[in-house]
Structures are given as C-alpha cells and as structure tokens.
Amino acid sequence: MPDYVDLVDLIVKKLVTNPDDVTVTEARSDAGVILITIKVAQEDIGRVIGKKGSTINAIRHVAKAASIKSGERVDVDVKED
C-alpha cells in the first residue's frame, strides 16, 4: 500500500514558501475512501491551488495514479482556515 501522505507532503513542500507550515493528514471513510487533507500557511494556499485549480488537480491526479495498483480510492482536499 502506497503512503499517500508522504507523496502529497513531498509535492506540496516543494511548492510552498513555508514548507515547515505544511501538514498533510489521512482519514478513511466508512466507504473505504482515503481522504488526504492538506493544510498550509495562508499565503501559500494560492500556490497549492494554482490558476483555476490546476495545481491541486495535478496533485489529485498523482495521488489517484499511485492508488490504481492497490485498487484504493483517494481524494485530496486543501483545508482553509
């Protein structure tokens, strides 16, 4: 089973200006879906989301591609405070 938290954490820390403020957590729903939540500093949210959501969509595609072999379903969200 791939470690989706480490994968997403590595990608996001390379994108932001404050990598120490990055927190990536994993939760599993009753339906078996793995929810990866990204929390970054307020000034880095735009970097993670990207223009028209292109960056966060690319992160979602990478996580889903990593989950294909194991047959799991992975969702990635950005938490805004």
List the structure tokens of 77. Answer: 């969200």
Q: What is the pLDDT of residues 7-53, one digit of tens each?
A: 999 999 999 999 999 999 999 998 889 999 999 999 999 999 999 99
Residues 44 and 62: their CA atoms lie apart, in Å, by 20
- Residue 2's pLDDT is what? 78
Q: Which of 62, 60, 35, 65 is nearest to 49 (CA)?
A: 60
Amino acid in position 1: M
pTM recorded for the entire structure: 0.91
- Residue 80's pLDDT is what? 82
Task: Domain 4-79: give its CATH architecture.
Answer: 2-Layer Sandwich (3.30)
- CA Rg value for the chain: 12
